[in-house]
């Protein structure tokens, strides 16, 4: 008997699986000290399905079983902590509660379609009237497909019912940005005591760097002779812990040439920073560029300060910090730069991304085309 009760009242799982084809040793798995028979039966199924990989699709295969395998593979493949954390968050919030106790081998395309319809009605947050966006729903469905793919690859399942489900259509997001005049009005709200924040927002506006890229920036990345910044890494925060990793994509690793005024501002700040922090370190090259105290700047600190500054002027158009990146792209486009320059500056992996986001900011291209057609009409 595979599951049996021990003398002490606990339960034991004892599974034999024949003999190893090479060593000829008997394959036997024993688990003792299980509190209830129900837990023992569940453990038996888990061992047979996950550890012994028995190709019998009548076993209970749960999302927990397969997601744990998927997450372990992501860790072995050195996926970024931010990626793994986001996957775990989406799984815990959306997939696990819906499929709790469900045998994935019993699911069909119709069941998956019903789940997606359910996601479309879910609020973004509790007591929130805003629903999950189509983009978010698509990301959750991609994760669910990965879970099923893992189940099929590990011979725990015989099919993936997510395969034939098409993505929901996504409307182009509205791009908000500031003009140079609006950004200058914003800078007037910053006090002299907030100089390091002024530096952060100025770098963001005039280089198009992402927040994580600026937070990871140290003086070793900046050449004040050639006025260039070498972007090789990004900072991200998971559960309040700061992590430094490589850039988002290969194209994200890039050189950016900065304008002379910003280069002068950086040089002046470097001298001031050395004076401010000389009591705490002599290794100034490794200091975070925007750091003004022994404690490095974090995403939460930047977010909080940005909201405080915007609250000082109700007339100024409200944008997100990420929109400073859009502001820089808009500035380049207004100066007549083409897509390739914008792509390289922003560090997009594909020029398609650049075109999809910013094509509507190129009205003059359409006008020039129409004029050319007139010439041959």
CB 233 within 8 A of CB 216: yes
| Cα angle: 51, vertex 53, 56; to 5 degrees | 135
Cα separations in angstroms, 26 against 15, 20, 29, 53? 11, 6, 10, 16
Q: What are phi and psi of 267, to 5 degrees?
A: -65, -45
Q: How far is CA 21 from CA 18, 24, 27, 162, 236, in A?
A: 9, 6, 10, 36, 47
Structure token pair of residue 15: 């599974």
- The catalytic residue positions are 210, 248, 322, 325, 348, 358
Residues 6+ apart with CB under 8 A from 128: none
Find out whether 54 and 64 touch, Cβ atoms under 8 Å.
no
By CB neighbour count within 10 A (0-12 exposed, 13-18 middle, 19+ buried), where does 279 fall? exposed
What number of residues does the chain have? 377
> In sequence order, what are the residues at sequence separation of 6 or more whose Cβ sits closer than 8 angstroms to the Cβ of residue 144?
95, 112, 115, 162
* Contact in structure between 219 and 270 (CB atoms under 8 Å): yes
> Residue 195 corresponds to which tokens in the numbers above?
């100089």
């Amino acid at each position: 008997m595979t599951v049996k009760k021990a003398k002490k009242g606990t339960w034991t799982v004892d599974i034999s699986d024949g003999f190893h084809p090479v060593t000829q040793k008997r394959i036997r798995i024993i688990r003792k000290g299980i509190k209830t028979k129900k837990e023992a039966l569940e453990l038996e199924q888990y061992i047979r399905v996950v550890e012994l990989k028995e190709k019998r699709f009548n076993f209970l295969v749960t999302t927990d079983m397969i997601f744990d395998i998927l997450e372990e593979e992501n860790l072995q493949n050195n996926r970024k902590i931010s990626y793994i954390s986001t996957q775990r968050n989406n799984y815990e919030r959306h997939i696990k509660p819906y499929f709790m106790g469900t045998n994935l081998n019993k699911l069909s395309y119709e069941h998956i379609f019903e789940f997606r319809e359910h996601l479309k009605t879910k609020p973004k947050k509790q007591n929130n009237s805003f629903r999950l966006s189509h983009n978010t729903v698509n990301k959750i469905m991609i994760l669910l497909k990965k879970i099923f793919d893992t189940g099929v690859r590990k011979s725990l399942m015989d099919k993936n019912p997510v395969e034939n489900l098409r993505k929901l259509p996504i409307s182009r997001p509205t791009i908000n940005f500031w003009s140079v005049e609006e950004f200058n009005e914003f800078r007037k709200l910053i006090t002299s005591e907030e100089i390091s924040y002024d530096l952060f927002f100025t770098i963001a506006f005039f280089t198009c760097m992402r927040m994580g890229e600026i937070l990871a920036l140290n003086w070793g990345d900046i050449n004040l002779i050639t006025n260039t910044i070498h972007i090789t890494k990004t900072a991200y925060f998971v559960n309040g812990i700061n992590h430094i990793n490589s850039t988002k994509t290969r194209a994200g690793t890039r050189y950016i040439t900065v304008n002379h005024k910003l280069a002068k501002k950086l040089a002046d700040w470097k001298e001031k920073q050395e004076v401010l922090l000389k009591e705490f370190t002599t290794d100034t090259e490794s200091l975070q560029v925007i750091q003004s105290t022994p404690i490095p700047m974090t995403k939460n600190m930047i977010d909080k300060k940005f909201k405080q500054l915007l609250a000082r002027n109700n007339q100024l158009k409200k944008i997100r910090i990420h929109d400073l990146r859009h502001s820089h792209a808009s500035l380049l486009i207004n100066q007549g730069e083409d897509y390739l320059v914008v792509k390289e500056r922003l560090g997009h992996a594909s020029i398609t991304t650049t075109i999809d986001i910013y094509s509507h900011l190129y009205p003059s291209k359409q006008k020039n085309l129409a004029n050319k057609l007139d010439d041959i009409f």
